[in-house]
Structure 1
């Protein structure tokens, strides 16, 4: 499912009020689980990249940016994630040439291109497999609320434009558990993008003594899109991010198609996208995460879409990477027996 619009309505709606008792129960149970003592402490430092809400805030682009930063500083990062959207429960060392998005999830394939990547529904088992690889630090993509594995440091991303929505828990709102409860285990708050919706949460974090840093998602090369008429399609947490990025790049977004997060495109989906694009002479364009779910498939319509579609590649730009590296020094220098 895509996140419902009422999640992001600050003043609340009848839907969020109706669902608030269920949200309160969900938040209570999540908070109890959050307090569990981790079952395992990895022999390598674990840096967790998380968010407060359901949906995308750029965790995977940030994990990739952090990977580059750490490699440049002489470290050997490896990635650990659940493999959401894939059928394999793990633990499994992902091989891009061998595994498909349907098996391991789109995020795992993207990360595996940059370094050793393990997927596992059981994060403890995944960490143990990753420890066997040639790595010196574990970057855990998502799993901030998962208590099974000890985190040495947690960087939590906060979207400046949306904040935490209506501040209610699933299903009444986007929060995975009450904000103040989550704040207790945040090592660093990374504010992504520009906007005022997260001002209250930033203030609360600062009062709690949590450092704030900033980052932004930017297209890698968008000059070629200037004036291009496009059909934008995406199955990510917030497809509107793609649409907005294309407009900022100068493209004319004529048609948009939003699919559920981690959507596995069908032949009918591909035919529809191709038909609309051809009828209006539009360039089909999507995200890197969506493209890995198209590429390499044998169905004729999907293969054709993969051949004609363009990809808007984006990267996370950390405002002060040196300050971030300095902030992580005490974690990275921890000696693990």
Structure 2
């Protein structure tokens, strides 16, 4: 889905007011579900989630956290629901044999760094992680899923977007009322600058929760000065377009699609034709690239990014504490 514009227009927007009773009921259900006790995995579980629907940068954050876990001498494995994939799991993701239609797009990216397990049954997925030799489970999403107990949950916040109008779905983007979610969170990772993210960071500081600030840094340096037609089906395509511009690309056109969008042949043909007319290279995200047919993907440039933490040592210390490491 694409977030409706009124989610960013304030809680007094007529659509938000009309949907507020439904949102209150939905948010209360999710909040009660979050309060249920979860099963222990037999090893530490670190969860990267978000307060809202849609993308906030959880996958780059999960990759960064797994890297810090490895620096501490532990063996991480990723656990994901595999949104958009047909396999219920638990199954280990194999990029050589699985496609996004099988396991979702994020797990294919995670599997490049460490073993990645897709499982709708999170405790069963954690058990498979352990059987593969992992001694730390890094969950990509799942803050609102109570089935598995977490040793540390970090909420990832998009700095420019913040929490929108602060109302639960469908009146707003929150998965549950914010006040009911705070007790389940041990800290924030705020990605990028913006008034929305700063507001959430101040609220976290009032609760003595650590706030880790970060930004997405392009790893591709050969797009500077190049004419690009950018397309993306992620939570906030405009964030990708801005990052591409920061990399020095000359963006001559953009094509936003809904999150996890399955590209159709006619859409790909239209993109190719538009790029030809504009004399531009097609450029997309890593997450989109794994959803493209291989023959088409071969002609598309990919902007790779990594999460750069302002103070990696502070997050490493918090993770060390959650792992019980000396």
Same fold per superposition (TM over 0.5)? yes
2:277 paired residue number: 279
Superposed CA RMSD: 1.5
Tell me, in whole angstroms, the C-alpha distance in 1 between the residues paired with 2:265 and 2:220: 30
- Deviation track 1:256-311 (CA, whole Å, cap 9, x = no partner) reads 11111111111111101001111111111000000011153xxxxxx2x3121100
* Uncovered stretches (5+) of structure 2, i.e. residues with no partner: none
For residues 68 and 329 of structure 1, what CA distance do their matches in structure 2 show?
13
Q: Retained in 2: the 8 A contact 1:6–1:12?
A: no
Quick one: which of 239, 243, 246 aligns to 2:244? Answer: 246
1:72-111 equivalences under 5 Å are 72-111=71-110
Aligned equivalent of 1:183? 182
Q: How does 1:176-255 map to 2 (within 5 A)?
A: 176-222=175-221, 224-255=222-253
**Does structure 1 conserve the Cα–Cα contact (< 8 Å) formed by 2:11 and 2:167?**
no
Residue of structure 2 in register with 1:26 after alignment? 26
Distance 1:230 1:310, change over 3 A: same
SS in 1 for 2:106: helix
**CA shift at 1:334, angstroms?**
6.6
Contact 2:187-2:204 within 8 A present in 1 as well: no
CA distance in 2, matches of 1:65, 1:198: 20
Contact 1:45 1:334 in 2 (8 A): no
Distance 1:262 1:278 in 2: 25
Distance across 1 between alignment mates of 2:198 and 2:298 = 43
2:58 aligned with 1:67: no
Match of 2:164 in 1: 165
Shift, 1:201, TM fit: 2.1
For residues 259 and 190 of structure 2, the distance between their equivalents in structure 1, rounded to whole angstroms, comes to: 22
Shift, 1:11, TM fit: 5.5
Instruction: Tell me the residue number matched to 1:115.
Output: 114
Q: Which stretch of structure 1 is more off in the superposition, 140-149 or 240-249?
A: 240-249
For residue 124 of structure 1, give the secondary structure of its aligned residue in structure 2.
helix
Contact preservation (8 Å) 1:231, 1:256: yes
Q: Measure, in 2, the Cα distance between the counterparts of 1:131 and 1:79.
A: 11
User: In the aligned structure 1, how far is the partner of 2:212 from the partner of 2:143?
Assistant: 18
Instruction: Give per-residue Cα distances to partners, 1:98-143, cap 9 Å, x unaligned.
Output: 1111100111111111111110111111111111011111101100
SS at match of 1:49: strand
1:228 Cα offset (Å): 1.7
Structure 2 CA distance, aligned partners of 1:236 and 1:135?
29
**Given the alignment of the two structures, is residue 135 of structure 1 paired with residue 126 of structure 2, yes or no?**
no
Is the 8 Å Cα contact of residues 294 and 306 (structure 1) preserved in structure 2?
A: yes
Structure 1-normalised TM-score? 0.93
Partner residue of 2:10?
A: 10
**Structure 1 counterpart of 2:301:** 310
In structure 1, the partner of 2:44 is 45
8 Å CA contact 1:52–1:179 kept in 2: the answer is: yes
**TM-score, structure 2 length as denominator?**
0.96
Greater mean deviation of Cα atoms: 68-77 or 325-334: 325-334
User: In structure 2, how many angstroms separate the alpha carbons of the residues matched to 1:64 and 1:37?
Assistant: 27
For residues 154-203 of structure 1, what are the alpha-carbon distances to aligned partners after superposition, in whole Å with 9 as ceiling and x for unaligned? 11111221110000111111100011111111111111111122333222
| Structure 1 SS opposite 2:258 | coil
Using the alignment, how far apart are the partners of 1:31 and 1:330 within structure 2? 27
Aligned to 1:225, the other structure's residue is in SS state coil
Asked whether the 8 Å contact 1:287–1:313 carries over to 2, the reply is: yes
Contact kept in structure 1, 2:49 and 2:156, CA below 8 Å = yes
CA distance in 1, matches of 2:267, 2:59: 25
